[in-house]
Amino acid sequence: MDDSPILVAGHQGLVGSAIVRRLLAGGARQLLLRTRRELDLCRQAEVERFFAEHRPHYVFLAAAKVGGIEANRSQPAQFLRDNLQIQTNVIDAAYRHGTRKLLFLGSSCIYPRLAPQPLTEDCLLTGPLEPTNEWYAIAKIAGLKMCQAYRREFGFDAICAMPTNLYGPGDNFSLTGSHVLPALIRKCHEAKLQHAEAVEVWGTGTPRREFLHVDDLADACVHLMRHYSDEAPINVGWGKDVSIAELARMVAAAVGFEGELRFDGTKPDGTPRKLLDTSRLTRLGWQPNITLQAGIESTYDWYRSHAQALRR
């Protein structure tokens, strides 16, 4: 892989940038990276031209419209449309222009809201989805099915990784669009600077979530690209979850915010629990490395050194 042209679609995002770091550290020499302005993946003709010209041998499909519970609730059309367009354009062009292998990134929210925990890959489509992010989930399920269908009908080597909630450097720290962990880092940091009494935490604090550092995910993606070729999706997680209240306490401690955590029950909780069963990935010889504690601390360091730029 190191001497082959590799497209990392979405290389400026949380996941794509981590995959680029991991590939460069591993010796990759021909990364194909395009900003959205250079290549709009929602536009089929542009994607077609790009693949015809550059013919990447490997594709990491990390481009997607992503966001937290509020962004998902308020922009259902964009979450459905953009993700369907991006993945359809890229998977089809990759197959038709001779890509040897493609890795598609999904999400743990594809699994039914009340499926038994930890969530195995086999519980896909066995029950209703969590309504706060069903538009995104439906698009991701379609992407997974497209990879399976292209493998069955055309013999295209497309594999699917289903990560749990991710965090790390390069995350979205906006208060309305982000996921919970970066939102809490920012809220606690700003509250500390302003000597505020309290930080508002959405929901009841009881939902449980599993968090994986994005550098661990990137390492898993490269491992799967090298060692896995099958139609079954592979969960990628940390293996343990925490309640949102516990997470808020960990973030407050790492940031040094000593005020009150105030839970706002008028905001949605989302799905009650979302812990992945990762035994399939473990059997493939991969394990995560970065503890939640260490990951929160290093992400907070990253945030502090970029806070000024992020606020602009």
Q: Which residues are catalytic?
A: 136
Query: From residue 153, how far is each of 146, 150, 175 by CA, in Å?
Result: 10, 5, 43
Pair 264, 203: CB distance under 8 Å: yes
Q: Which of 196, 267, 298, 307 binds ligand GDP (CB under 6 A)?
A: 267
Q: Which two tokens stand for residue 222?
A: 């490269």
The residue (of 56 and 237) whose beta carbon lies closer to ligand GDP is 237
Q: Which two tokens stand for residue 264?
A: 């706002």
How far apart are CB 27 and ligand GDP at their closest, in Å? 34
Report the candidate in 212, 112, 169 with the shortest Cα–Cα distance to residue 300. Answer: 169
Q: Which stretch binds ligand GDP (CB under 6 A): 174-182, 223-231, 232-240, 294-302?
A: 174-182
Pair 214, 257: CB distance under 8 Å: no
How many CB atoms are closer than 10 A to CB 113?
Answer: 19
Length of the chain: 312
The residue (of 22 and 209) whose beta carbon lies closer to ligand GDP is 209
Using CA atoms, how far apart are residues 307 and 73, in angstroms rounded to an integer? 26
Using CA atoms, how far apart are residues 222 and 108, in angstroms rounded to an integer? 19
Q: Is 209 in the site for ligand GDP (CB under 6 A)?
A: yes
| Terminal C-alpha separation, the chain | 38
# residues contacting ligand GDP (CB under 6 A): 20
Pair 204, 180: CB distance under 8 Å: no
The residue (of 120 and 172) whose beta carbon lies closer to ligand GDP is 172
Q: Is 68 in the site for ligand GDP (CB under 6 A)?
A: yes
Q: Which two tokens stand for residue 130?
A: 């969590």
The residue (of 162 and 184) whose beta carbon lies closer to ligand GDP is 184
Interface mask (CB under 6 A) for ligand GDP, residues 187-206, using x and -? Answer: --------------xxx---
Q: Which of 207, 233, 237, 288 binds ligand GDP (CB under 6 A)?
A: 207
Interface mask (CB under 6 A) for ligand GDP, residues 90-129, using x and -? Answer: -------------------x--------------------
Q: Is 268 in the site for ligand GDP (CB under 6 A)?
A: yes
- The footprint of ligand GDP (CB under 6 A) covers 68-69, 109, 133, 165, 178-180, 183-184, 201-203, 207, 209, 244, 267-270
